[in-house]
């Protein structure tokens, strides 16, 4: 127990609420690029050849995030996008069957 302003504070455990998301593994392919539907803010590679895209950046609500090959691009229940590294994604999410 902790004390704050002379009162004991009881520690309480919380569980994250389950949410359903959509996610794509970025594989640098045109097919994945076409499926995602988020705004892209830039990439390296050949501008006229989407098959040679790498160092992708996607727009998020407070700027942009870099997406590396193998990263997950997540669309949450509010329709907002984010990027997640594979190890964190696998420890946080289970496939909804």
Q: What is the pLDDT of residues 57-95, one digit of tens each?
A: 888 888 888 888 899 999 999 999 999 999 999 999 988
Comparing CA positions, the residue from 67, 47, 65, 70 lying closest to residue 56 is 67
Q: Beta 72-75 vs 22-25: how paired, if at all?
A: antiparallel
Q: In this structure, what DSSP letter does residue 11 have?
A: -
* CA gap 71, 26 in Å, rounded: 6
The residues pairing with 56 across neighbouring beta strands, listed in sequence order, are: 67
pTM greater than 0.85 = no
């Amino acid at each position: 127990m902790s004390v704050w302003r002379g009162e004991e504070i009881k520690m309480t455990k919380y569980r994250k609420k389950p949410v359903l998301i959509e996610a794509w593994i970025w594989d640098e392919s045109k097919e994945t690029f076409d499926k995602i539907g988020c705004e892209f803010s830039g990439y390296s590679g050949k501008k006229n050849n989407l098959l040679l895209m790498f160092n992708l950046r996607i727009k998020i609500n407070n700027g942009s995030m870099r997406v590396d090959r193998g990263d997950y691009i997540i669309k949450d229940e509010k329709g907002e996008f984010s990027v997640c590294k594979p190890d964190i994604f696998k420890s946080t999410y289970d496939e909804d069957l």
